[in-house]
Structure 1
Amino acid sequence: MTLTDPSLLEDLFTHEVDGRSAQFVRPADTDLPNWGVYEGSDFLGMLYSDQSGGVTGWRLGQSHERHDVLDDAVRALRRPRSWPRERAQVSDWARRLLADESLTAVDVETTGLNEPWAVQIAATDKSGTVLFDSYVNPQARIEPDAIAVHKITPEKVADAPTFGELLPSLTTALRGRTCVAYNLPFDKGCLERELERHSSAQAAARWLGGCRWHDAMEPYAVWKGLWSVKRGRYRAQKLGGPHTAVEDCRFLLARVRDMASSDRPPGG
């Protein structure tokens, strides 16, 4: 059985998503690729095969919400009843951010995932105008897996300034501003390590305290509303940027604008 071609799916089948089985039942009065989805005796809702735009997807019953992947459509059906309220709260949060004239998107590309150093730092204002953008000589090895993602090689940053050399201009760009990042603990943690290497933990805390920080990753997961029964929370979503720091800032701002628009369907 293939899940990528709905025409080949059976009238009755079971599919496991996030460690829990969902039962799919085609209504007896149709041979169309439509299924009722159940967990035990609980009816989750209807899913309809959607071929719009020539691409196979799945549409939730009684809505226009569409998902490219069957698993995500099931996760959408599993949302807790609190989701509309939680999503409205996220939209309010995003609108408050966008109303802040000092809003700044920050992105840090790094040497890797574990105890990383910066290889590129960028910041843009809420319109996407660049406030800061520079490669950084990390004075450390760049992991091959990181290079595969952001394409920043040792040769590209060999003659770049060090973090300490960039710190005055970075401070000017960010001081006193409201900063938003995607997966804030990672980017802010990298900046903290750089600041501590340059000066001290106390100085790092003072510098970071000069900005108001927000993380868009968890709100975006709530806004998308794909519930993982295995994790007991909404699934984190990829930002979708090209992994160049400036463009990732702009992608992040686009996601914040999406969240501010509470009427926009989260699927697709």
Structure 2
Amino acid sequence: MTITDPAQWQDLFTQDVDGQPVQFVRPADTDRPVWAAYEDGTYLGTVSAEPNGSRPLWHVQSTREAQHCLDDAVRALRRPASWPREREEASRWARRLLSDKTLTALDVETTGLQNAFAVQIAVVGRDGSVLLDAYVQPDAVIEPDAVAVHGITPERLASAAAFGRLLPALTEVLHGRTVVAYNMDFDRTVLERELVRHYDAPAEAGQWLARCRWEDAMVPYAVWRGLWSVKRGAYRNQPLGGPHDAVADCKLLLAKLEQMAATVPAPRW
């Protein structure tokens, strides 16, 4: 649907969500932007829309929450019955993590997505203090798509230090600590690639990484949001939503953990 004013939407329409058609029916006794959603003839729930700039804001009536797109409202309606328990488990995970005084958040901006090297590394402490913020000379081509995301150009890195020069400081702020990242496998793999290149020995790189306790926030946050994808048979991973500056993204990640930890048990619907 491309009409930005929900009042102009049709009484009956179908939209594919994760490859599955969902039928939306406006009740006959109203002209308000409210629709009952059905999938394979089964009633999922009711959604309503309100103008919100260029895109409507979608309210899931049964859970009293708002989503920024209709697909996510449907994913909220598709949640399995186990979601309240799983969400509380994700909240407990966040509380446990935040109670760890050694907790640090890590973010790495890179040359690209495949076989990437670091162009910026940041580490932020549990209290929000910046323990490390460094641009890195990658000695590799920075893909245009990556520059379009984080804005870090080769010219900006002309005087940046190589990874080896930053390694002592990185070791000091990470070793012996719990390290949380968003999509941890990606950031950890980038560090491993840098360490292998530096030491010229995969075993030494593995030993260095093993001196940190690694935690990934992406899957717990997906569970906490609870937007179920029938195509994947799992909760849909969410973008962190940061500006792709390593320090800002670390601080945003810690804020997301605080939000998860503060959650009261999910309401029944």
TM-score (norm 2): 0.94
Structure 1 regions of 5+ residues with no counterpart?
none
Q: Is the 2:45–2:62 Cα contact (8 Å) retained in structure 1?
A: no
> For the structure 1 residues 69 and 5, does the alpha-carbon distance in structure 2 shift closer, same or farther, using more than 3 Å as the test?
same
| 1:162-215 deviation line (CA, Å, top 9, x unaligned) | 111111111001110000001111100000000111111111111111110001
Q: Which aligned pairs between 1:75-224 and structure 2 lie closer than 5 A?
A: 75-199=75-199, 200-224=201-225
Structure 2 regions of 5+ residues with no counterpart?
none
Distance 1:186 1:22 in 2: 34
Distance 1:264 1:255 in 2: 17
> For the structure 1 residues 44 and 108, does the alpha-carbon distance in structure 2 shift closer, same or farther, using more than 3 Å as the test?
same
| 1:25-75 deviation line (CA, Å, top 9, x unaligned) | 112222211111111221111111234799731111133200121111111
Q: Is the 2:24–2:35 Cα contact (8 Å) retained in structure 1?
A: yes
CA RMSD of aligned residues (A): 1.8
TM-score (norm 1): 0.94
Distance 1:134 1:227 in 2: 37
| 1:78-123 deviation line (CA, Å, top 9, x unaligned) | 1111111111110000000000011100000111110001111110
Tell me what 2:258 maps to.
257
Question: Helix, strand or coil for the counterpart of 2:27?
Answer: coil
Q: Is the 1:112–1:142 Cα contact (8 Å) retained in structure 2?
A: yes
Question: What is the CA distance between 1:159 and its match in structure 2?
Answer: 1.6
Distance 1:169 1:262 in 2: 35
Question: Helix, strand or coil for the counterpart of 2:95?
Answer: helix
Tell me what 2:236 maps to.
235
Q: Is the 1:135–1:160 Cα contact (8 Å) retained in structure 2?
A: yes
Moved over 6 A (4+): 52-55
Percent same amino acid among aligned pairs?
58
| 1:128-181 deviation line (CA, Å, top 9, x unaligned) | 111111111111111111111111111111221111111111100111000000
Tell me what 2:29 maps to.
29
What one-letter code is carried by the residue in structure 2 that aligns with 1:171? T
Bigger shift: residues 112-121 or 46-55: 46-55
> For the structure 1 residues 52 and 164, does the alpha-carbon distance in structure 2 shift closer, same or farther, using more than 3 Å as the test?
closer
What one-letter code is carried by the residue in structure 1 that aligns with 2:68? D
Question: Helix, strand or coil for the counterpart of 2:137?
Answer: coil
Question: What is the CA distance between 1:4 and its match in structure 2?
Answer: 3.0
Question: Helix, strand or coil for the counterpart of 1:136?
Answer: strand
Q: Is the 1:179–1:212 Cα contact (8 Å) retained in structure 2?
A: yes
